[in-house]
Amino acid sequence: MAKRDDRSNPLKPVEFLVLAVLDDRPLHGYGIVHEMAARTDGRISPRPGDLYRVLYRMDRKGLLEPDDGEAACQEERRTCYRITELGRSVLVSEAEFLKKMAAEVLSRRTGSLAEAT
Amino acid sequence: MRSYPGWGHPTFPRSYRLLLRLYPREFRERYGRDLLEYVAESTAVYERRSLLNWTRTMLDLAINGLGVWFDSLKRAARSMLKWRSARSASLGFAGPGGGPPRKRGARVEFALQDLRFGFRMLRKHPGLSLIVILTFGLGIGYTSTVFNITNGFVHKELPFEQSHRILALDQTDPERTFQYGDITVPIHDFTEWRAQQTAFEQLAAYWTRMSNFSIERGAPERLLGGYFSSGVFETLRVQPILGRTISEADEKPGAERVIVLSYDLWLRRFEGSADVLDRTVLVDAVPRTVIGVMPEGFKFPFAQQYWLPTVIEPGAFERGEGPRYSVLGRLKEGVSAEQAQAQMATIAARTARDFPASNEGKGVSVRTLRAKLIPPAHYALFYTMLGATLGVLLIGCANVANLLLAQASVRARETAVRSALGATRGRLVMQLLTEVLVLACIGGAIGLALGYLGLEWFVAKMTYVLTTAGDGEDLPFWIRFEQDYRMLLFVVGATVLSSTIAGVVPAFQGSTANLAEAMKGGGRGSASLKARRFTGGMVITELAMSCVLLILAGLMIKSVRQLSDVDLAFATENVFTARVDLPPERYPSLDSRLAFQQELYGKLGALPGASVATLSNGLPGPGYGSTDVMIEGQTYEGNGDVPRVHIGVVTPGYFDVFESRVLEGRDFTASDGRETLPVAIVNESFARLQLDGDAIGKRLRMLHDGAQWLTVVGVVPDLSMQMFGTAGSEAGFYIPMAQSGLGSYLTMAIRTERPPMTLARDVISSISSIDPNLPAFRVMPMTGVMLRMTWFYPVFSRLFMVFGFTALFLGAIGLYGVMSFAVMQRTKEVGVRMALGAQSWELLGLVMKKGVVQMVIGLGIGLTLALFAAGPLEIVLYEVQGRDLAVFGSVGAVLALTSLAAILVPALRVTRADPVSALTPE
């Protein structure tokens, strides 16, 4: 257990979604949830406590950082977050990993379907 | 880091903001505001301001608050382990076998695993977890509310340096046992004590008085002042923030008249200006020079607003006469309180020998200043309440233990498998305990929030009464309701303790599961003798606890009922009241006071809207002072034998204002004056107790020198001359103000057809038209006067009522659960007996017998405990005995019925079961 490096951990689904949403543009917490709900057809929308705990954790892992420069956020006087370089590379490698997994699952399905017919 | 000016934004519910304190500071600073805004927004969007939503949000915040800590803990543990294994590898003693470092690391890993497991259990069994969390939350919430209140009242040390070394000295007098409160020290004794003692750094004296305070051209107001000898400030070790305090020179006769101001007064009347020194203010119309300002919060000895030197001149009085003081001193370094007490006793004995006429039998009592200011009797009520709430918490713990026990027997299989796979017993116990602790921590977080809210509710109630219904009187300086570490400490302690109480038996019970037994037995019907004994003990404990709590609640509720039902012998609606005091410096002679009284009396009666007015030295409700009286024709053995009764000084109209009537004889009239026969009106209690019901024409005399014989001319009903709601005799009599030598303290009462407070302006201007330097104070309707007397009955009874019903509810549920569990364990036995042909009523009796025995024992213990617990409560009960039969009886009956139902229902279910299914494991 101890030898695993935090950074190479597979991301939790909600962390992945946060990074995916922030990949577009910096957003504040409420915006992240909005965007996340929109992209997942409302399937995933964390409660406030859950969300900020995740943000805090990801911030400490260096996956994202507060972004004080964003004009829209300054207007609303809320903290916005933007994805870091590290976050982006983790996101990409995670996306590739997921893509591989998804491809495997789907190919097996189509394969078995083909056999059945 | 950005700062957020809107941090205290009112749209964020306080409960959420409190929970935010659970999070690490860094987290709060960075995300706190955003998080709350998100909560507010989502609430607004979904329009779900329901209790459900609130509960969910609270749980979300509480769970994640702990989760954030858990995350950091995990990271810390990880990096520690990494560092350790790297180090041990470099030192060459790494290895899976594990030296000490590996072992300690494993322990941390285990703890984290347990924690994670605990959270997982929480998500897996949300129903059970919610019940447990709420039970802990409510229990800890109540307890911490009461603790916080108690903390504000009695737990505080006095805010002085080494305050436990400051002692208060009073006189003791075996003859004056009736005295309410302390016996102050006569001036001669004080000066002798001061000169002869060596145990204290110095002795200092003080007394207090309310006076009229004004600045030139400003409106006068009525403020509480302290009259200090030199040395009081030094003894308390308090420094002024401006100027100086009272010195020895100031207490000499003929010294310049000076004054020290409190911080509040300085801010309020001088806008905190630094050039206040040497300004002149008027106290009872006497000009005084400001010499100093005390720091914020200093209001010794009660809620004083300013301090004046008291002139100590023993030579001016005969021994046994003159002023009396409260005395205090700080122990010298290395001297103990006992040594000081011994020395003072020697000095007092010497004085008693030298001056037997004034001092025979008189001694000295020495105790801490704190014990004098906050008498131990005050503690009793709070400790009773604290005990009551701890009882609720204990009942809650017992319920949780019971639930977990039931769950443990269901989970026996899981536990057995784990232990077969090599988990040690200690590991299993720790894991089960951690699960409870996780739930208790969330409960504790809710409890913490409830405790804050409860305290705020209480303070709001109290402040409302003291400021709105009163005249802005301040709380004594030692009562400070503020958040401090004790509250947090208490909640943490309560959380750990209650999770241990609730968890330890189920954990040990659950960890002993035998694999073979668990696998075949279906996890039921095999509870050990120990577990059964434990549930039995729990039934008894819960019953006893509920019984005590319900009886305490019942007594309080009955008091409130009595109070609201009580048929006051006097009317309180449509009566305006106010007070004005005549300073002796300005009204030194009886004539000057009488002139003022008559002029005021005339003006008040003529006010538009006033139907009848009266002046007196008190009001029904707050009551009157007492005096010793002799009745003509009676013989008394000694002074202690003479009846002590209340005395009221009133003008004609008093009984009309309060819509009372004269039962026999006549009322006072304007013609009862100094030249006519001295008269008195007695109340019914006096007539019955002292005059055998035949009062008119009897004569009585007060004990002090020069008192005249008073002829009784009338009898009136008992109009609460004894302070309302307190124990003591009602007996008392009234004399006409025009015939009394008193009359410095005037209370006005005016009956009116209009809303009473509409008279306020006219009354105040009538007073200032006679003397512009006299402030009216305690300006309030008579209903407000009564509210001040009784405010805490509804407040405290509501507290007790909530405790009591929660206790009943928890107790009943717990009983039902425990009984069901106990009866279920005998399913198999019942099945066998049924198969062997036992009648169902026989079985019912068999199953219920144990429950009934437990019920009887529990109720017995509870009723006995309640007898003891009700004792301290008696001082606040109104016309209810601590052993009130009705309350004891009905609580006993309710509990007996509830528990019978709780026993009967599961028993019926078992005995009606089909023997075949009872014998077949699930």
Output the DSSP codes for B571-591: --TTEEEEEEE--TTT--SHH
Token duo for residue B664:
């026999």
CB pairs under 8 A between A and B: 74
Q: Which residues pair with B186 in a beta bridge?
A: B324
Indicate whether B524 pLDDT > 50: no
Q: What angle do CA B593, B594, B598 make, to 5 degrees?
A: 120
CA B488 to chain centroid, in Å, comes to 19
For residue B292, the SS3 value is strand
Indicate whether A46 pLDDT > 80: yes
Query: Which of B605-614, B728-737, B807-816 is predicted least confidently?
Result: B807-816
Indicate whether B855 pLDDT > 80: yes
Query: Which of A65-74, B263-272, B609-618, B742-751 is predicted least confidently?
Result: A65-74
Indicate whether B890 pLDDT > 80: yes
Task: Tell me the average pLDDT across B745-771.
Answer: 88
Query: Average model confidence (pLDDT) for chain B?
Result: 80
Does this model's pTM top 0.90? My answer is no
> Which of these, B224, B219, B303, B227, lies nearest to B269 by C-alpha position?
B219
> Which residue in chain A is spatially nearest to B86 when comparing CA positions?
A3
Indicate whether B114 pLDDT > 80: no
Helix (H) or strand (E) holding A61: helix A48-61
pLDDT digits (tens, 9 = 90+) for B403-431: 777 777 667 777 777 777 777 777 778 88
For residue A67, the SS3 value is strand
Indicate whether B884 pLDDT > 60: yes
Task: Tell me the average pLDDT across B893-897.
Answer: 88
CA distance A115 to chain B (A): 40
Task: Tell me the average pLDDT across B480-487.
Answer: 73
Query: Which of A37-41, B834-838, B842-846, B914-918 is predicted least confidently?
Result: B914-918
CA distance A18 to chain B (A): 16
| Max mean pLDDT range (B93-102, B389-398, B797-806) | B389-398
Q: Do A2 and B75 touch (CB under 8 A)?
A: no
pLDDT digits (tens, 9 = 90+) for B810-846: 777 776 776 676 676 677 777 888 888 878 788 888 8
pLDDT digits (tens, 9 = 90+) for B492-516: 888 888 888 888 877 777 676 555 5
Burial class (CB in 10 A: 0-12, 13-18, 19+), B519: middle
CA distance B139 to chain A (A): 25
End-to-end CA distance of chain B: 61
Spell out the residues 6+ positions from residue A11 whose beta carbon is closer than 8 angstroms to its own.
Answer: A19, A90, A91, A94
Q: Do B2 and A79 touch (CB under 8 A)?
A: yes
Q: Do A29 and B31 touch (CB under 8 A)?
A: yes
- Partner-chain residue, chosen from A30, A56, A60, that has the shortest CB–CB distance to B41: A30
> Which residue in chain A is spatially nearest to B16 when comparing CA positions?
A49
Indicate whether B152 pLDDT > 90: no
Interface check A66 vs B, CB under 8 A: yes
Q: Which residue has the higher pLDDT, B300 or B902?
A: B300
Q: Do A2 and B105 touch (CB under 8 A)?
A: yes
Strands B363-368 and B166-172: antiparallel
Token duo for residue B577:
């009241």
Reported confidence tier of residue B8, pLDDT bands at 50, 70, 90? very low
CA-to-CA dists, residue B81 to B69, B85, B99, B116, angstroms: 18, 6, 14, 18
Task: Tell me the average pLDDT across B587-609.
Answer: 88
Q: Which residue has the higher pLDDT, B83 or B211?
A: B211
Task: Tell me the average pLDDT across B367-389.
Answer: 76
So what's the pLDDT on residue B11? 46
Provide, as residue numbers in chain A, all residues whose Cβ is less than 8 Å from the Cβ of B20.
none
- Partner-chain residue, chosen from B37, B62, B68, that has the shortest CB–CB distance to A78: B37
So what's the pLDDT on residue B148? 86
Residue B913 falls in which region: left (phi positive, over 0), alpha (psi -120 to 50) or beta: beta
Q: Which residue has the higher pLDDT, B566 or B909?
A: B909
Indicate whether B535 pLDDT > 80: no
Percent of chain A with pLDDT over 70: 77
Interface check B442 vs A, CB under 8 A: no
Reported confidence tier of residue B560, pLDDT bands at 50, 70, 90? confident
Q: Do B35 and A49 touch (CB under 8 A)?
A: yes
Q: Which residue has the higher pLDDT, B344 or B362?
A: B344
Indicate whether B238 pLDDT > 70: yes
Provide, as residue numbers in chain B, all residues whose Cβ is less than 8 Å from the Cβ of A1.
109
CA distance B60 to chain A (A): 6
Give the number of other Cβ atoms within 10 Å of residue A9's Cβ: 12
Reported confidence tier of residue B291, pLDDT bands at 50, 70, 90? very high
Chain A contacts in chain B segment 64-83 (CB below 8 A): 64-65, 67-68, 71, 75, 78, 81-82
Do residues B869 and B553 touch, judged by C-beta distance below 8 A? no
Q: What angle do CA B289, B294, B296 make, to 5 degrees?
A: 140
Percent of chain A with pLDDT over 90: 7
Q: Give the integer Cα–Cα distance in Å for B21 and B536.
A: 40
Q: Which residue has the higher pLDDT, B669 or A112?
A: B669
Instruction: Look at the block and give the residue holding tokens 């009648």.
Output: B839
Burial class (CB in 10 A: 0-12, 13-18, 19+), B745: middle
So what's the pLDDT on residue B868? 85
Strands B280-283 and B286-293: antiparallel
> Which residue in chain B is spatially nearest to A73 when comparing CA positions?
B34
Q: Do B109 and A30 touch (CB under 8 A)?
A: no
